[in-house]
Amino acid sequence: MEVVWAVGQVGALWVAVVLGLIVLPSALGISLGISEAYMWVLVKTLEWATIRLQKGAKKPQPPRTPTANGIIERDETPMEKEIALLHRADFEFSHIFYFCRKGFEAIVEDEVTQRFSSEELLSWNLLTRTNVNFHYISLRLTVVWVIGVIVRYCFLLPLRVTLAAIGITSMIVGTTVVGQLPNSSVKNYLSEVVHLTCSRILVRALSGTIHYHNKENRPQKGGICVANHTSPIDAIILTNDGCYAMVGQVHGGLMGIIQRATVKACPHVWFERSEIKDRHLVTKRLREHVADKSKLPILIFPEGTCINNTSVMMFKKGSFEIGGTIYPVAIKYDPQFGDAFWNSSKYNIVSYLLRIMTSWAIVCNVWYLPPMVRKEDEDAVQFANRVRSAIARQGGLTELPWDGGLKRAKVKDTFKEEQQKNYSKMLVRNGSVG
Amino acid sequence: EGPQDSAPVTSLHSLAVTSEQIEHLHRRFKQLSQDQLTIRKENFDSIPDLEFNPIRGKIVHAFFDKRNLRQESDGLADEINFEDFLTIMSYFRPIEMNMDEEQLDRFRKEKLKFLFHMYDSDHDGKITLQEYRNVVEELLSGNPHLEKESARSIADGAMMEAASICVGQMGPDQVYEGITFEDFLKMWQGIDIETKMHVRFLNVDTIAHCY
């Protein structure tokens, strides 16, 4: 009996601490500085761990180069120059070298598949999952690692799960309550408060540290916000700082419940599965939303799938045909503290969330870019590329002309033919035919 | 389990790649093979970058060519393991600073032999006119502007030049059967191919470890 009472006391204390230190500040939008202190301790520990690792290595370490660009040195000499370098008359011999080498480079690593596996770190962050060859290094380091595991799984994980539960529940309850009110400015204000609060709680549930830059460019009502996509939490990262109307497919389960609740309070745009296939219908609905200047800006991720945050892939042009003002946003995660990338072919959503919640923290930078409008002589594809370049440049990501759909599908024939035509044009120009 | 366990020591030495590079290649191998122990031709279909390559077929073929795999028998293998994969990759390793004359010569011969095998598709040790035309056609494939005749004339011109280099002036009855490997070597004398046919690894140490 006493045991039950004691457990009850501990439980109550726990909830009180969580509410007081986390939920309440979230609602009021203030920060107690706990996250900052945590991050400071974390950074110091990881620096120490890295120094230990470097000391432990017998050989002197050669200067490191970032691996984001691959493991082989690509010879960027354009094909024309290369072929000119070989003096032989037989042109096709030169061509064969070029294509042989390109073929081998592609086999050793190709730009596309690289983007669908997590970015490699230059130093270890005490998570075994990022250390592919975990070697025993020193007792002290192992002890720190074990402490790290205990802290992450026994302390951080339950805390985060509690917070996430509180966040999601309050979102559902809050939006349902607000949804009962008649449409008015009070309702809109309350809906914003609820969304912001729950978003903040969820960000704390991930130990998220987000730096927002250029807040003066924040998306305005009646606009469209586009961002690069790395993980499902991108949406939470953005809604932490502003209110958006989400666009997406109706899901079942918990996600569906959240969707149904939130749409009552705030005009999110949820499509049925059958509706998504009809592009005109989708565009029409989004146009109507954007035309109403009192509605919140829509949030779209034009890549269509999660990329590993080292590059930006092709933007689907659909979002850029709607019209209106586009507010580009660049999101760059710092992989040092936790890898936010969701490799959906490798992990399902639950194991992904588990990984996120047992990482140290999610640290990211968000840049709001100045708004862009489609020029008169531009078509949707060119406009999409222009926006994509701006995002890639700001976030320090590379641009790839590839389609995110390549994660699962093969290269489109039209694209292949384009490449072949370029090569042939070059041959004819060289006058080496006939 | 690691790549060092499966590959015998001799082949690793001839590759002269670091253990980190082997780890990278092993990871790539696993990616291509989808975690199986061997790769088949179909596994190369999953590389988008390769789709654009006009001689894609010949390159993939080269991986399964038993002559390149240094096996005694002839013909094509159905599947290759990681050791075979490394063997083929070794044809593309770059020159090292400390190579002497003999090593350089062997190095060059190996690369040219690889190229020769690519042309000689029926494995008879000679590149015939038809085989040559085949390669040129593939290189020019997909180009709507060039007709088959252009490909032929290119191939014919090349064969004639090869014949003149290797056999000298030919009489009217002489038939040039095909380019043998010795002729092939002669054609490429003096041309620097070593820097054209290699893939150089960046010197990266992604994760520090000590031993």
> For residue B145, which residues of chain A lie inside 8 Å, CB to CB?
424-425, 428
Rg (C-alpha) for chain A, rounded Å, is: 25
Residue B16 forms contact with A (CB below 8 Å) = no
Residue B159 forms contact with A (CB below 8 Å) = no
Contact B52 A420 (CB under 8 A): yes
* Tokens, residue B23: 């780890």
- A64 located within any domain: no
Q: In terms of CA atoms, which chain B residue is nearest residue A427?
A: B140
Residue B148 forms contact with A (CB below 8 Å) = no
What's phi and psi for A311, nearest 5 deg? Answer: -155, 165
Which A residues 127-146 touch B at CB under 8 Å?
131-133, 135, 137
The candidate with the shortest Cα–Cα distance to A18, out of A151, A173, A160, is A160
Residue B139 forms contact with A (CB below 8 Å) = yes
Is the confidence at residue A336, as pLDDT, over 80? no
Which A residues 44-103 touch B at CB under 8 Å?
53-54, 56-58, 61-62, 64-65, 67, 70-73, 82, 86-93, 95-103
DSSP A195: H
| Residue predicted with more confidence, A380 or A368 | A368
Q: In terms of CA atoms, which chain A residue is nearest residue B29?
A: A108
Residue B109, pLDDT score: 87
> For residue A139, which residues of chain B lie inside 8 Å, CB to CB?
none
Distance in Å, alpha carbon of B38 to nearest chain A alpha carbon: 15
Q: How far apart are CA A242 and CA A218, in angstroms?
A: 8
Residue A420, pLDDT score: 59
What number is the average pLDDT over the span A263-284?
A: 80
Residue A117, pLDDT score: 56
Comparing CB atoms, the residue among A53, A65, A104 nearest residue B204 is A65
Cα B120 to chain centroid, rounded: 12
> For residue B49, which residues of chain A lie inside 8 Å, CB to CB?
102, 105-106, 110-112
> For residue A67, which residues of chain B lie inside 8 Å, CB to CB?
202, 204, 206
Contact B115 A100 (CB under 8 A): yes
Which architecture does CATH list for B19-202?
Orthogonal Bundle (1.10)
The answer to whether the pTM exceeds 0.80 is no
Query: What ipTM, to 2 d.p.?
Result: 0.79
- Beta carbons of A324 and A286 less than 8 angstroms apart: no
CA A250-A252-A258 angle, 5° bins: 75
* Residue type, position B138, single letter: E
Q: In terms of CA atoms, which chain A residue is nearest residue B152?
A: A434
Helix and strand counts by DSSP (H, E) for chain B: 10, 5
Contact A107 B50 (CB under 8 A): yes
> For residue B85, which residues of chain A lie inside 8 Å, CB to CB?
none
Contact B118 A100 (CB under 8 A): yes
Contact B207 A133 (CB under 8 A): yes
Residue of A98, A107, A117, A417 for testing the chain B interface, max B β-carbons within 10 Å: A107
Q: pLDDT by residue (tens digit) across B8-39? A: 333 444 555 667 778 878 888 888 888 888 88
Q: Is A240 left (phi over 0), alpha (psi -120 to 50) or beta?
A: alpha
Residue B144, pLDDT score: 55
Q: How far apart are CA B133 and CA A290, in angstroms?
A: 59
**A155 is in which domain, residue-wise?**
134-407
* Tokens, residue A45: 């520990």
- Beta carbons of B198 and B94 less than 8 angstroms apart: yes
Distance in Å, alpha carbon of A57 to nearest chain B alpha carbon: 4
DSSP B43: G
Contact B191 A86 (CB under 8 A): yes
- Beta carbons of A204 and A278 less than 8 angstroms apart: no
User: Measured in Å, how far apart are chain A's first and last C-alpha atoms?
Assistant: 98
Residue A368, pLDDT score: 92
DSSP string, B125-186: SEE-HHHHHHHHHHHTTT-SSS-HHHHHHHHHHHHHHHHHHHH-SPPTT-----EEHHHHHH
Residue B10, pLDDT score: 38
Distance in Å, alpha carbon of B142 to nearest chain A alpha carbon: 6
Q: pLDDT by residue (tens digit) across A55-98? A: 665 444 444 444 444 556 665 555 555 544 443 445 556 677 77
Q: Which segment of A47-51, A201-205, A215-219, A415-419 scores lowest on mean pLDDT? A: A415-419
* Residue type, position A82, single letter: E
Residue B127 forms contact with A (CB below 8 Å) = no
- A23 located within any domain: no
Comparing CB atoms, the residue among B25, B48, B211 nearest residue A402 is B48
Is the confidence at residue A285, as pLDDT, over 70? yes
Contact A102 B24 (CB under 8 A): no
The runs of H, that is alpha helices, within A32-135 are: 34-56, 79-85, 91-108, 111-114
The candidate with the shortest Cα–Cα distance to A224, out of A288, A272, A306, is A288
Q: In terms of CA atoms, which chain B residue is nearest residue A89?
A: B158
User: Measured in Å, how far apart are chain B's first and last C-alpha atoms?
Assistant: 17
Q: How far apart are CA B187 and CA B170, in angstroms?
A: 17
Is the confidence at residue A119, as pLDDT, over 60? no
Residue A73, pLDDT score: 61
| Reported confidence tier of residue A127, pLDDT bands at 50, 70, 90 | low
Q: pLDDT by residue (tens digit) across A292-317? A: 878 888 888 887 767 677 667 667 77
Mean confidence (pLDDT) of chain A: 75
Residue A329, pLDDT score: 92
Among A32-41, A53-62, A283-292, B195-204, the range with the most confident prediction by mean pLDDT is: A283-292
Residue A112, pLDDT score: 56
Comparing CB atoms, the residue among A54, A117, A402 nearest residue B208 is A54
Q: How far apart are CA A160 and CA A158, in angstroms?
A: 5
3-state secondary structure (DSSP) of residue A77: coil
Comparing CB atoms, the residue among B23, B59, B191 nearest residue A88 is B191
> For residue B52, which residues of chain A lie inside 8 Å, CB to CB?
411, 416, 419-420
3-state secondary structure (DSSP) of residue B200: strand
Residue B35 forms contact with A (CB below 8 Å) = no
Sites in chain B below the pLDDT cut of 70: 1-18, 97, 142-148, 166-176, 194-211
| Residue predicted with more confidence, B98 or A123 | B98
Domain tally, chain A: 1
